[in-house]
């Protein structure tokens, strides 16, 4: 655990093979905010994807792009105010002018 990589947990699993039991230690990823920065894996050859898989990959990439755009345009420029709770969400206040 020397470096700072994506969050992972160590899991000990028991495997049985030919009457023998052995213990295997495996590292598995843990859900995290930082997983956003790991793009989905795209196969080298797009012919390996069927239509449904290609559409799911496209949807995932578009959702990631939309979220990144919100981070860039809305959160980052006003990050300190969002952190301190002083920022105002203009989407929530659209109907407040009619009072």
Query: What's the pLDDT tens digit per position in 9-23?
Result: 888 888 888 888 888
In this predicted model, what pLDDT tens digit does every residue of 30-58 receive, in sequence order? 887 777 777 777 777 767 778 888 888 88
pLDDT at 73: 93
pLDDT at 1: 45
Q: What is the 3-state secondary structure (H, E, C) of the chain?
A: CCCCCCCEEEEEEEEEECCEEEEEEEEEECCCHHHHHCCCCCCCCHHHCCHHHHHHHHHHHHHHHHHHHHHHHHHHHHHHHHHHCCCCCCCCCHHHHHC
pLDDT at 80: 92
């Amino acid at each position: 655990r020397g470096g700072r990589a994506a969050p992972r947990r160590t899991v000990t699993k028991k495997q049985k093979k030919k009457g023998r039991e052995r213990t295997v230690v495996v590292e598995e990823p843990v859900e995290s905010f930082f997983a956003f920065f790991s793009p989905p894996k795209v196969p080298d050859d797009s012919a390996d994807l069927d239509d449904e898989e290609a559409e799911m990959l496209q949807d995932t990439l578009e959702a990631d792009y939309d979220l990144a755009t919100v981070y860039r345009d809305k959160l980052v420029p006003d990050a300190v105010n969002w952190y301190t709770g002083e920022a105002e969400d203009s989407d929530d206040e659209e109907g407040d002018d009619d009072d």
